[in-house]
Structure 1
Amino acid sequence: MMTMKRSVCLRFSCALLFCSAGVVHAGPYIGTQLGYDDYSIGYTDKEPGFGDLDLEGLSASGGAFGVYGGLRFGGEGAFFSVELNAGTGSAEYKETFEAESLHIEAGNSYGLGFLVGTEVNAVQVYGRLGAQRTDFDLDDGISNDSVEDENPWGLRVGIGAELPLNETISLRADWSRTMYDEIVSEDPFSGREFTYEPEQSAFQLGVTARF
């Protein structure tokens, strides 16, 4: 009786192990994703003779859509991927300070990422390190040199996970944080200098197809 119980338990455990062993394929892949962008923007207004005005935590948020594709190396267990992405978003911030205004809008974006991960109970978890470039439209409402179509690069770090549904299709959840280079605009008439320091948090849900 005890031997039979052990045999049943062993077979059940093997079945669970087999079911939880996700299929990890090396090779090319593509995907599409939907998500939410949240930008935190530091803003500094330096006016000669009047000191500096520092505003922290200005927030612009909105929906996002993108595509990605890459090449994956490795097999079962550990893996490494080189990935390109492109997308667009609707994050926007508007504010009026007495007679002055501030408008910040994020648009198209693209970047390169390196993913390193492992498989844990059929879920493929990974870390991300890369660079991202985003198109910003920035208008301080004062200078004639409103900063339009500025494209700063930023360092992107993140984590994510993929759940394989079969040998070719998997579901992805991805979170990242991007710290962009500062953007500087100057009014040549008054000498005022405006500095923007954007940072982005992005959460994406996607579907990946492997070949």
Structure 2
Amino acid sequence: MTAEVKVIVIGDTNVGKTCLLLTYTTNSFPDSYVPTVFDNYTAPISVEGKAIQMNLWDTSGSDDLDEMRPLSYTDTDCFMICFSVAEEESFERIKTKWVPEIREHCQNDDPRIILVGTKCDIRDSQKLIDTLKKQGKDLVKKESIEIMANEIGAKGFAECSAANQNGLNEVFEMAAKVALGMEDETGDKKDKKDKKDKKDKEKRKHNGSIFKKIFGK
């Protein structure tokens, strides 16, 4: 049986949300930029042997649509907040605009959020990096992304490039897992979970010993 999930893609204008979705669903990078108000895509994906249909919602990041955009948040299984690794402002607005908007309008008290840094191919182009520096800009540091993810309680974070498709499949696989609560536990979270599992196991063993003493079984 195929599971169905709804993933909303949000973020500032011009960070590459539509290119991300079009490239993933058509396997082809779009030739021209077409501003999006709202659009929908579907994509089948298999995660750990489980068939999933992803309903992907593309939204406009325009401030003019702040009242309309949240109407699409109903029954969302995963919010994908996109930012450009070459635009620090789009990254900073995760905390000042996008997360507050989600928390205000989402029905779920604990919305499932992932952070996606787009245009990561720029990290490999010294020419583009130099151009940004001349403009007084810098790339978003990878450590900053991890810190932000922890601060807002994101279920995951990643970078990708629609231009060369680097990391693209991994981003949507992560979104599918998070939407279904199948995300991988890593780092400190995994350590804490392992310790809790061990503690629970010891507690069950202890309770079992008490049971034997009381009932002689």
- Scaled by the length of structure 1, the TM-score of the pair is 0.27
Please identify which structure carries the higher strand content.
1
Higher-Rg structure is 1
